[in-house]
Structure 1
């Protein structure tokens, strides 16, 4: 029984390490060239950024610009 719990703990630890390395990489950011005006709705920005070939998009900053992101 102890051997089984040790194996399960090892597998869980390896999965957590893998997830941390995949999601923890550097993120490249660029202001959308297509989105015009104030960015008030994150979902709209996200759709525009995906059409531009980016992974995600969010409204950022005081002037509410649509910022697109991709893993570098």
Structure 2
């Protein structure tokens, strides 16, 4: 009887982990690639996103110290 009391917390935690992984949907990863067509420093992400859209990406944002336009899409 004593061993079942020690086993219960471990089983309860395992059950919670299984339920939590089933409830939370998998999030899509976002991949970034530097734009090939954007010229100059990137300060306005909306401009970057427009250029990236023309390159076939789903979005874009200004990034880094060098202010590069990084195009984004789901991996």
* Smaller-chain TM-score bracket: 0.5 to 0.7
- Helix, strand or coil at the partner of 2:66: coil
Match of 1:44 among 29, 43, 47: 47
**RMSD in angstroms over aligned alpha carbons?**
1.4
Provide structure 1 residue ranges, at least 5 long, that are not aligned to the other structure. Answer: 1-15
Provide structure 2 residue ranges, at least 5 long, that are not aligned to the other structure. Answer: 1-22
Match of 1:33 among 32, 36, 39: 36
Deviations 1:2-56 (A, max 9, x none): xxxxxxxxxxxxxx84xx43xx211111000000100011100000000000011
Structure-2-length-normalised TM-score: 0.65
* Residue correspondences, number: 53
The structure with more radius of gyration: 2
